[in-house]
Amino acid sequence: MILPSPPESKLASGKRKSPTLKKSKAKPGGRRKLNCVGRRFQLAGELICRVPWLAKAARPRLAWIVREVADAGWTADEVIAWLDLEDAPERVLRPSGFLAQRLDGAVRLWPTAEGRARAVEAYRASRRAEQARHAEWEGSGGPSSQFAARLFREAAEQVRRHDHPPAQLLYTLTTDDVPAAPPELSEHELIDMRAAAQKDPSLVTSIAAAYGEDYARYVFSADIADLVQRVRGTGHLVIDRPWEEYA
């Protein structure tokens, strides 16, 4: 059975309007803005990469810990600047719990973006100053202050002029070889010298050889001098000039 054709008035004209497509509000090539949850996870990931004691923290747990600062618009730089207000821990057993303790009250104390920006700049300036101090003494193996560094250079030169120092505890020179008045150091310079000796024990032997054992003990303290003696006795102390052993 053949069905009758519909009248021409019912037939489509062949032209059809497409539905209007909504224009995307996103910028071409741009990225969608993260929601609050995404921002928390992003901040947690950045902190895991940049804060050593957070390296093994669980990201979901950390995202929950940083939710308050993340929702307030804090950046990783701002969080790190806040954490730098206290000394970095040597070992952390529960990183997320420790971070929660450190961030307690942070949003209340640093409420504005302008204040946080100033804090970040101060943090960066302190890091640059620290790097400059390290660069000052790294080349010579000595301490950071100019006066103490000069003392180290003078001591090293004094030692190099003597091929056979007598066999005493820290290579003390004879009375004729020791300057009549060894330079006196301020409290700050003494702290500087002792900190340098922790990294380079040969500094103790150099000062002792140039100015005498008593002066070395005054500069570095008896504890550090005795420690250098014990380490040297094990054969693990490495200094920039080989010494001969004397009976």
Helices (H), the chain: 36-50, 59-65, 67-71, 76-83, 95-103, 106-109, 113-138, 146-160, 187-199, 202-211, 213-220, 222-234
pLDDT of residue 221: 81
- pLDDT (average), residues 74-92: 87
- pLDDT (average), residues 80-91: 84
Confidence of residue 49 (pLDDT cuts 50, 70, 90): very high
Amino acid at 126: S
- pLDDT (average), residues 175-193: 64
What percentage of residues in the chain have a pLDDT greater than 90?
24
pLDDT of residue 218: 84
Name, in order, each residue with C-beta under 8 angstroms of 130's C-beta and a sequence gap of 6 or more: none
pTM of the model: 0.45
Q: How far is CA 119 from the centre of its chain?
A: 17
Instruction: Please say if the pLDDT value at position 5 is more than 80.
Output: no
Which backbone phi and psi does 113 adopt, to 5 degrees? -65, -35
